[in-house]
A and B are shown apart, each in its own frame.
Chain A
Amino acid sequence: MLQKLFRFHGGVKPAYHKEPSIREPIGAVPMPGELVIPLHQSIGGPPHPLVKAGERVLKGQPIGAPDGNVSSSVHASTSGRVKAVEMRLAPHSSGLAALSVVLEPDGLDEWIERRPVPWRDLPSSGVRDALRDAGVVGLGGAVFPSHLKVNPGKDGKLDTLVINGAECEPFITCDDAQMRERGERIVRGAAILGDLTRAERILIGIEDNKPEAVAAMERYAAAVGDPRIRIVAVPTRYPAGGAKQLIRVLTGIEVPHGQRSTDYGVQCFNTGTSLAVFEALELGQPLISRIVTVAGNVARPRNYEVPFGTPMRHVIDLCGALPDTDRVIMGGPMMGYLMPADTVPVVKATNCILVGSARLFPPPPPEMPCIRCGECAKACPADLQPFELYWFAKAKIFGKAQEYKLFDCIECGCCAYVCPSRIPLVDYYRFAKSEIWAREREKSAADEARERYEFRLHREEREKQEKAAKLAAKAAATREKLAAAKEGDAAPAPGAPSAEEAKKALIAAALEKAKAQKAAVGTPANTDHLTPDQQAQVAEIEARRAHLKEVAQSVRPKDDE
């Protein structure tokens, strides 16, 4: 049966350069001398460290606990000793450090006990917790915690589950290699995801420039024999691998601004994520490694299965970086992030280590003024107006940029790719987005402070009133007591005692009480029963004090002068 395909707006066709890295099968990486595993590897709250320096950990043992539900666990990639839990340079464009677990492998590669998760018998919340605790996140690059996506949406069932094997970005072939070699697990994982989301059909979309992957996946799908699963070759056009774009191509559905694809009965997972789900649930293996493409300015580009925390340089060395190498990019040439150094670790988001040089990626020519040609709007796969976003970001009019749906921008880089003025448009969007986020953080902090301040004022007022009420009650009680005592002791004077008399009586009673207390305490106890020695000491100190007093008095008049 032929699948009717649709077209997404815009897109570009860059040179793909995929061939060199897919010639060899997926390679294994020898264990490096040190693994640096950053704790925060996914969207959401940063996980809390579970280990301390000096502890021995096993392969797959949790080392970071999720911070709330919008977070994901982190595990040790091999067995060994924890050297430190400290700030280390993060694989992030900022060049800043992040809390990481530094692990010294012991070479034994000893697993924790692995037990398959009985996901068929568990309630859906139990399966979600299992995925969270296995650290499964979206491996397409966005690292969104997968357990948050495994739900059938409002209707209780999905129309279509899309498995994204499009892999549209140049140079990257990790999903391609995985589909060729480990397709069965991907298909089985897709079936599990289909069951969890109650999907009626499962479409695995693969760009048609990967015929081997399509053929392999068709073979695996036939072997697994799930009637819901269909492999669909989609036209090669960047960014067909964007979730919204692939959903559009496969189902014709355009997910509008501010809505989720599940509202339209569609959900999308990456092929790598599908495989990770299979391994987490059926094999009980947490996510501790991934397939990484090493490509670009290297002698032997190839895909490797890399344990998280491996320094990028360790993997690059296997491929032989060419001498003119001057940069390392995490991700592809269109959407990748420049790394501050080649020593940063491979993390869950690392689909590709792109080694660059000035020859491969010549420095961009100078930015020219925008001529409003509209090419960027023609290329934008998110149907935005990039030139408007550019104006607003450049002029720092962030409110307007948001009105023009800046946050629907997927930073695919198509606009910058086609721009005849060579404006680094995505850099402007990233700048504007992070400024807006910072402002929103400030705003919510201010709102919280206002609320807390107002509550404090309210609390102080309440406490004052409570105290006053308490005092009044106490005074009334004493007054009553006194009145009662007087009545009992002597015949009451004609008429009730006046207010003044009552007050006087109160004061007298208080004085009496204080006197009694003083008498009870008596003289300070610690000067009684002293030895003669101590008495001599006390006398000496008293003498010194008296002398000092005299001196002070003799000096003071002089000060006044």
Chain B
Amino acid sequence: MLAALLVMAVGALVLGAALGYASVRFKVEGDPLVEKIDAILPQTQCGQCGYPGCKPYAQAVAKGEADINQCPPGGEEGIRKLADLLGREFKPLSAEHGVEKPKSVAVIDENLCIGCTLCIQACPVDAIVGAAKQMHTVVSAQCTGCELCLPPCPVDCIVMQPVGEDVENWKWKYPVFTLHRRAG
């Protein structure tokens, strides 16, 4: 009887120690689920979801505080991917958070810009260059199209320009039979 108790007690201690050691030794930094959700999000950092950036939204989704349909730039495809990842039901984009728009970049009208630096402070990815009382310009390759620079501009010199199709980013269309007949 005593021997059995002793064996169980020692076993519990050894296993507990092993588990305790493993939890320290193999501790995962950060929440892997948050990282996975963040990888799906488009990183526009626009805040349309109601959180100050993509990462905070990912954290909220992981905790179950936010729904998966609050990201307009991610669009339907993003919601589908999130639904797949989290094993939830797909739902359409929530209207209160905005609508899916074609990818655009901000363009500053350089004739109107007064050099107030307000847009520079608003840009979440530092894609606007300029200095006080100097003309500003958007580095379009880095612009995520978040539109956060539009409201602070006192002279409304920033417009969103849709990224058009060019030879570099043109995509072959899904093969449709009639396309071949019309060739030429």
User: Which A residues contact B (CB, under 8 angstroms)?
Assistant: 40, 46, 90, 92-94, 96-98, 326-328, 338, 356, 363-364, 366-367, 424, 427-428, 430-431, 433-435, 437-438, 441-442, 445-450, 452-457
Structural contact, A449 and B45, CB atoms closer than 8 A: yes
Chain B residues, Cβ within 8 Å of A457: 53
Instruction: Collect the chain B residues with CB atoms within 8 Å of residue A433's CB.
Output: 172
Q: Which 3 A-B pairs have the closest CB atoms?
A: A327-B184, A449-B43, A326-B184
Does B170 reach chain A (CB closer than 8 Å)?
yes
B126 at the interface (CB under 8 A from A): yes
Chain B stretch 115-153: residues in CB contact (< 8 A) with chain A? 124-127, 142, 144
Contact B167 A446 (CB under 8 A): no
**B16-24, B25-33, B173-181: which one contacts chain A?**
B173-181
Chain B 143-169: CB-based contact to A (< 8 A → 1; otherwise 0): 010000000000000000000011111
B124 contacts across to A, CB distance below 8 A: 453, 456
Measured in the bound complex, the distance between the Cα atoms of B183 and A433 in whole Å is 22
Give B residues with C-beta under 8 Å from A: 38, 41-45, 53-55, 124-127, 142, 144, 165-175, 177, 180-181, 183-184
Distance of A347 Cα from B170 Cα, bound (Å):
19
List of A residues within 8 angstroms of B166 by Cβ: 96-98
B177 in contact with A94 (CB, 8 Å): no
CB distance from A85 to the nearest CB of B (A): 16
Q: What residues of A have a CB within 8 angstroms of the CB of B171 in the complex?
A: 431, 434-435, 437-438
Contact sample, A vs B, 18 pairs, CB 8 Å cutoff:
A40-B167, A94-B170, A97-B166, A98-B167, A328-B184, A338-B183, A356-B184, A367-B177, A428-B175, A434-B171, A434-B172, A437-B171, A438-B169, A450-B38, A452-B127, A453-B43, A453-B124, A455-B126
How far apart are the CA atoms of A427 and B126 in the complex, in Å?
Answer: 40
Can you name the residue of chain B whose Cβ is closest to the Cβ of A338? Answer: B183
Q: How far, in whole Å, are A454 and B43 apart by their CA atoms in the complex?
A: 11
Cβ–Cβ < 8 Å partners of B53 in chain A: 453, 457
Cα A428 to Cα B165 in complex, Å, equals 20
State how many angstroms separate the Cβ of B92 from the closest Cβ of chain A: 20
Which of B43, B165, B183 is within 8 Å of A327, CB to CB? B183
Kindly state the separation between the CA atoms of A484 and B172 in the bound complex, as whole angstroms. Answer: 78
Residue from the list A92, A97, A427, A450 in contact with B175, Cβ < 8 A: A427
Q: Which residue of B lies closest to A429 (CB)?
A: B172
Q: Is the interface of B mostly helix, strand, loop or mixed?
A: loop
A421 to chain B: closest CB distance in Å? Answer: 13
In Å, the complex CA distance between A46 and B55 comes to 35
Most chain-A CB neighbours within 10 Å: which of B126, B127, B166, B180? Answer: B166
Instruction: Determine the chain B residues whose CB is within 8 A of the CB of A427 once the complex forms.
Output: 172, 175
What are the residues of chain A within 8 A of B54 when measuring CB–CB?
450, 453
What CA separation (Å) do A541 and B184 show in the bound complex? 74
Q: A366-B177, A431-B175 are in contact. Are A452 and B125 (CB under 8 A)?
A: yes
Which chain B residue lies CB-closest to A366? B177
| B residues in contact with A356, CB < 8 Å | 184
Known: A326-B184, A327-B184, A356-B184. A452 touches B169 (CB 8 A): no
Option from B168, B169, B174 in Cβ contact (under 8 Å) with A46: B168
Q: From A92, A431, A438, A449, give the contact of B142 (CB < 8 A).
A: A449
Closest beta carbon of chain A to B146's beta carbon, Å: 9
Whether the Cβ atoms of A453 and B125 lie closer than 8 Å is: yes
**Across the interface, which residues of B come within 8 angstroms of A437, CB to CB?**
171
Are A364 and B180 touching (Cβ within 8 A)? Answer: yes
Chain A nearest CB from B81 CB (Å) reads: 11
Max chain B CB contacts within 10 Å: which of A428, A446, A455?
A: A446
A430 x B170 contact (CB < 8 A): no
- The smallest C-beta distance from A411 to any residue of chain B, in angstroms, reads 11
B170 and A96 contacting across the interface, CB-CB below 8 Å: yes
C-alpha gap A456/B43 in the complex (Å): 13
Q: Which residue of A lies closest to B40 (CB)?
A: A446
B residues less than 8 Å from A428 (CB atoms): 175
In the bound complex, what is the Cα–Cα distance between A495 and B165 (angstroms)? 78
Q: How far is the CA of A397 from the CA of B148 in the complex (A)?
A: 35
- Chain A residue, CB-CB nearest to B125: A452
Docked CA distance A435–B167 (Å):
14
Q: What is the bound-complex CA distance between A94 and B168, given in angstroms?
A: 10
Partner of B125, one of A328, A366, A435, A449: A449
CB <8 Å contact, A431 and B167:
no
Closest to A430 in B: B172
Complex-state Cα separation, A327 to B183, whole angstroms:
7
Q: Bound state CA distance, A98 and B168, in angstroms?
A: 9
**What residues on A are CB-neighbors of B142 within 8 Å?**
448-449, 452
Q: How far is the CA of A190 from the CA of B184 in the complex (A)?
A: 39
Nearest-CB residue, chain B, relative to A450: B43
* Other-chain contact of B181, A338, A363, A447, A453 (Cβ < 8 Å): A363
| B126 lies within 8 A of A424 (CB) | no
List residues of chain A with CB within 8 A of the CB of B184: 326-328, 338, 356
